[in-house]
Chains A and B, each alone.
Chain A
Amino acid sequence: MKLLKFFMVLLAFTTNQSYSQNVSKDEMVKNFVQIIGDEIIDVAKNKKLTEVQKKQQIIKLIDKSTDANWIGRFVLGKYFKTATVEQKNTFMSYYREFMINTYGPKFNSYDGKKFTVNSVEKQSNFFLVKSEFVPQNSDVVVFFNFRVKENEGNFLIIDFIAEGVSLIETQRSEFNSSINEQGMDKFLENLKIRIDELKLQNSKATPKKAKK
């Protein structure tokens, strides 16, 4: 009887502990995404910064909060297995630069009124974070989700989903189709050219386009 009580207490203790661990982890993920979102909005809103300074600061924020290695491997898809070690290494070093320089400046216009993380849900080995954003000149709420993974106690973003479209899944399809068409070496060559173009663009102010 004593033994049964002991096991019941032990079970209650371990169940409760794992529950509280999960709850706090969800909360930690929520805070992580909320802080990154707020930081991006703060930079985008900051009138003291020039457009180029904003771009560079947001690129740094994206760089520190995303797992470029993981995403790089994912978007390489089936070619991760067939690429040589040299090709893989080159791709991984290029991909990080490509990603931050492509997507970082796009957040430049996120000078919204409010960014709110609504919920965190554990799915497989990652967290699905549902959030909403209210743009500056509109009351229409924009919903988007993030996928976040834990890496040695830190959280990193691995995907951005808008209107049900996953950024990494789309890019995987695009990269695989492009590698299939032109071969890995040519693709890497083009990726390098694109990175150089992006870096040049990001060091200058964007030319004015038609109003939105």
Chain B
Amino acid sequence: MINNKFFFFISALFVSMFFSNIAIANDDEFKEFETAIIKGSIDDPFEKYNRKIYKFNDTIDKYFFEHLARSYRKTIPKPARVSFRNFLDNLSLPLSALNSFAQGKLDNGLTTFSTFLINSTIGVGGFIDVARKKGLDYEREDFGQTLGYWGFSSDNFLMLPFFGPSNLRDFVGFSVDRTVDPLGFNVLQIGGDTNFIDGSKRIFNTVFKVVDNREELLDIIDNIRQDSFDPYATIRSAYLQRRLAQIEN
């Protein structure tokens, strides 16, 4: 009888040890997954204000930019929209190449610059992306990525009025890019002429870029508005992940 009791006790002990080990192993395994998957943390000290700006942007977008983008999609055929996007993308390539060089990515910088030369000439001013069709593939770089590459963190998430998600690093990057860009303020006087393109063309270029970007994002933003329980949190997380991936590329 005593032996039986002892046997049951030992069996129960082993069974409980076995199952508790499984639970611990599962928790440990899960933690390992979590650590491997989650790369960055979300730092949003201005969340209260950022959410208000998001609401403002969202309202302006619903009443103005979204309609503009939908009308653009409805009236301009897709091949024409693709050509316009190619043209706008091509204009930004010299700056992208400079940022590649600033990150020591010589190959990517040269490929980007070659793409600019090929598309500007054979690609009829950039309207046809001949270079990509011929297999030239490059990663787009901006000054925010350059800062990230040199170790500036993505702390302090910002929701900027009209411009949308950013952070302190990317906001500085964006301002520098616009200041240096020959099609922006051209403070370095690239090409020797501060008025590389005149004021009205610069405004037209900016407005066209905004409409093109918003058209490109139509389906993504529709999905977020439809699916997300908290669109602000979804956009913040997606933005930070994407920027991290762009810096790590």
Contact = CB atoms under 8 A, between A and B. Distances in A.
A124 B33 contact: yes
Interface of B is mostly: helix
Given A74-B34, A126-B36, A164-B241, A210 B70 contact: yes
Interface residues of A, number: 36
A174 B73 contact: no
Interface in A106-150: 106, 123-126, 139, 147, 149
Interface in A43-95: 70, 73-74
B237 A169 contact: yes
B33 A181 contact: no
Interface string A138-178: 01000000010100000000110001111011101111111
A51 to B, nearest CB: 17
Contact of B229 (A123, A125, A169, A178): A178
A32 interface: no
A211 interface: yes
A210 B241 CA distance: 30
A174 B36 contact: no
Interface of A: 70, 73-74, 102, 106, 123-126, 139, 147, 149, 158-159, 163-166, 168-170, 172-178, 181, 187, 190-191, 194, 210-212
20 contacts: A74-B37, A106-B223, A124-B36, A125-B36, A126-B33, A126-B36, A158-B33, A159-B37, A163-B242, A164-B246, A169-B37, A169-B237, A170-B241, A174-B229, A174-B233, A177-B230, A177-B232, A181-B230, A190-B229, A210-B74
Given A102-B227, A168-B37, 14 more contacts: A74-B30, A74-B34, A123-B36, A124-B32, A125-B32, A139-B133, A164-B241, A164-B245, A164-B246, A173-B233, A173-B236, A174-B230, A176-B233, A177-B233
Interface of B: 29-30, 32-38, 42, 70, 73-74, 78, 133, 219, 223, 227-230, 232-234, 236-238, 241-242, 244-246
